[in-house]
Amino acid sequence: MALDRWIALIFIAFCCIYGYAAFFTMDQLLPPFMQRNPVWPSTFPKVLSVLGILVGLIVLFGLEKSAEQSEPSATDINYRRLHEYNLVQALSLLGLMVVYALALRPAGFLLATMVFLAGGSAILGERRWLTMLLVAAIASGAVWYLVQEVLGIFLRPLPFFLR
Q: Which residues of the chain have pLDDT under 50?
A: none
**Cβ contacts of 138 within 8 Å, gap of 6 or more:** none
pLDDT at 37: 80
pLDDT at 75: 66
pLDDT at 34: 76
pLDDT at 17: 94
Q: Which amino acid is at 157?
A: P
Dist CA 13 CA 53 (whole Å): 8
3: left (phi over 0), alpha (psi -120 to 50) or beta: alpha
pLDDT at 78: 67
pLDDT at 22: 86
Q: What is the pLDDT of residues 30-74, one digit of tens each?
A: 777 777 788 887 788 999 999 999 999 998 888 777 655 566 666
pLDDT at 162: 67
Looking at the whole model, is its pTM more than 0.85? no
Instruction: Provide the residue ranges of all domains of the chain, joining segments of one domain with +.
Output: 3-83, 87-162
